[in-house]
Amino acid sequence: MLPGMGDDTCAITLKVNGSTLRLQVAPWTTLLDLLRERLGLTGSKKGCDHGQCGACTVLVDGVRINSCLSLAVMRDGASVTTIEGLAEGDALHPLQQSFIEHDAFQCGYCTPGQLCSAVGLIAEGHAHSEDDIRELMSGNLCRCGAYPNIVAAIGQAMRPRRDA
Amino acid sequence: MNRFGYTRAGDVAEAVHAAAGDDAAQFIAGGTNLVDLMKERIAAPSRLIDITRLPLRAVKSLPDGGLEIGALVSNSDVAYHPEVASRYPLLSQAILAGASPQLRNMASTGGNLLQRTRCYYFYDAALPCNKRAPGSGCPARDGVNRIHAILGASEHCIAVHPSDMCVALAALAATVHVTGPAGARAIEFAEFHRLPGDAPERDTTLQPGELVTAVALPREGFAAHSTYLKVRDRHSYAFALVSVAVGLRMVDGTIAEARLALGGVAHKPWRDPTAEALLRGQRPDDALFAAVGEHLVRDARGCGHNDFKIALVRRAVVRALQQAVAGGPRA
């Protein structure tokens, strides 16, 4: 059984964007709500809150998931990376830079989820063509319809840069 | 979500013990369906028993040549596992045809088996539904029923099982291993899900408190001649209107053994051994395939909006059999 469990809340440890946090959470708190409401990390968006739009996508132990369908208490001990944790100081993550270069967003609401999802996609290593990127980004909806540029931005980030 | 208790189990015995005596407690693993159902107040468990720390994450070879997949192995990890991809491509294809990468990363093997229907009326707590509130009625029968069942339905429920993975597991004749208060037992896949009859609130033959611990695949994976054909409204990230899982064992150009299961048409993955028997010992032939499609829908009934599924099954079966003979979906 879980030590430190009270009637209503449980003690958990989470590493969020590199910082280790000790938190007391109610079991019905989703990871998304914890990030946004408790930790002030509002980059991850609550779009549909049902795992359909992908705007809440974050990386847990390097794996992309829908944080809206994840209970925070069940992630005790995990390492979470959100959009706020992708850049290294002022140096943007290559995918962030590529999204800017390709104009891969319009309103920007889905972009944090798109970026975290794309980081996960590249780490998974199963995308070998633009068709693969489209298929493996299908869990992230963009109501502005920026898909062609999103695919191009991810495609560029997957290729080694010649000027690097 | 309702307020609920939370227990983190360390092993199978502890999980089963925690569930015993509390019919309103539920196991939780990936949570992709259960948390959603809780947000909609369709599920309101008294207690969640977190099984994600249980040692059920292995994929291992069995002495009989089969493969055992632990209940907690994620859908992604099953689909991309080298043994699964090479020996059971039908299973990999079916899994990758479902949901999104994020959901597949979260969803467990056991949970995929236990996901609930996406019938709109089941999901709308303001409306009657015999599956959600037994005895309240089925508005789908005379309502919007485009996604609903054409085979094996009852007057009480016309919902369909939403899984792609399970259609492949039905065709592969997998076995589900469970452990409950009365001990461990194995359930043949065809017996795991049930037809609605007069108890549509029950999706499976699991007994109260039983926990899925593994899914075992037989040695034969039909790797050389199999396919998963999924027909849906969108190219990706949509549930099947109709899907067909086919596995053939071909010997000298003749079908020595055939497996075929349908998704999107019934309360469970639909496997009909009499249709498979029509193929056995025959040479591949479009007229034969059409006859198999016709045979599969001989008792099919539409409810109006879903009438098109009957024709769709006939045609999808022909195409899936052609693909399987040719060696797979892209052959």
In tens, the pLDDT along B112-160 reads 999 999 999 999 999 999 999 999 999 999 999 999 999 999 999 999 9
Cβ pair A117:B31 closer than 8 A: no
CA distance B193 to B184: 18
Give, rounded to a whole angstrom, the gap between the first and last alpha carbons of chain B: 47
Q: Are residues B193 and B74 in the same domain?
A: yes
Residue recorded with tokens 């990890």:
B77
Residue A6 pLDDT > 90: no
Report chain A residues whose CB lies below 8 A from the CB of B100: 54, 138-140
Residue A2 pLDDT > 90: no
pLDDT, residue A163, reads 53
Q: Are residues B10 and B91 in the same domain?
A: no
- Is residue B146, in this structure, part of any structural domain at all? no
Fill in the DSSP letter of residue A113. Answer: H
The mean pLDDT value for A45-64 works out to 98
Mean pLDDT lowest for which of B54-58, B267-271, B300-304, B326-330?
B326-330
CA distance A105 to A108: 5
In chain A, which segments carry CATH 1.10.150.120? 94-158
Nearest to residue B31, comparing CAs of A74, A16, A60? A74
The mean pLDDT value for B159-185 works out to 98
- Give the one of A5, A76, A136 whose C-beta lies nearest to B101's C-beta: A136
Residues 6+ apart with CB under 8 A from B265: B149, B150, B151, B160, B242, B300, B309, B313
Q: Are residues B258 and B308 in the same domain?
A: yes
Residues 6+ apart with CB under 8 A from A125: none
Q: Are residues B64 and B174 in the same domain?
A: yes
**Assigned token pair, A137:** 């980004």
Helices A147-158, A111-124: inter-axial angle, 10-degree rounding? 40
**Assigned token pair, A107:** 């309103």
The mean pLDDT value for B265-284 works out to 98
Residue A3 pLDDT > 70: no
Q: Are residues B206 and B233 in the same domain?
A: no
Q: What is the pLDDT of residues B218-227, one digit of tens each?
A: 999 999 999 9
Provide the CATH number for the domain around residue B249. Answer: 3.30.390.50
Residue among B3, B6, B57, B232 with most chain A CBs within 10 A, to mutate = B6
User: Is B204:B178 a contact under the CB 8 Å cutoff?
Assistant: no
CA distance A139 to A51: 8
Report chain A residues whose CB lies below 8 A from the CB of B103: 51, 66, 69, 139
Mean residue pLDDT across chain A: 94
Cβ pair B3:A28 closer than 8 A: yes
Mean residue pLDDT across chain B: 97
Provide the CATH number for the domain around residue B75. Answer: 3.30.465.10
- Kindly indicate the confidence band of residue A7, based on its pLDDT and cuts at 50, 70 and 90: low
Residue in chain B nearest A57 by alpha carbon: B102
- Kindly indicate the confidence band of residue B21, based on its pLDDT and cuts at 50, 70 and 90: confident
CA distance A124 to B76: 10
Q: Are residues B102 and B245 in the same domain?
A: no
Residue A5 pLDDT > 60: no
CA distance B255 to B224: 12
The mean pLDDT value for A7-34 works out to 96
The mean pLDDT value for B75-100 works out to 98
Residues 6+ apart with CB under 8 A from B183: none
- Is residue B94, in this structure, part of any structural domain at all? yes
| Domain hosting residue B26, numbered range | 5-51
Instruction: Work out how many domains chain B is built from and give that number.
Output: 3
The mean pLDDT value for A112-136 works out to 98
Cβ pair A139:B5 closer than 8 A: no
- At the topology level, CATH places domain A94-158 in DNA polymerase; domain 1 (1.10.150)
Q: Could you report the predicted ipTM of this complex, rounded to two decimals?
A: 0.96
In chain A, which segments carry CATH 3.10.20.30? 10-85
Residue B213 pLDDT > 60: yes
pLDDT, residue A162, reads 57
Residue B110 pLDDT > 50: yes
Architecture of domain A10-85: Roll (3.10)
Q: What is the pLDDT of residues A137-155, one digit of tens each?
A: 999 999 999 999 999 999 9
- Kindly indicate the confidence band of residue B172, based on its pLDDT and cuts at 50, 70 and 90: very high
- Kindly indicate the confidence band of residue A8, based on its pLDDT and cuts at 50, 70 and 90: confident
- Give the one of B4, B10, B105 whose C-beta lies nearest to A27's C-beta: B4
Please give the share of chain B, as a percent, with pLDDT higher than 70.
Answer: 100
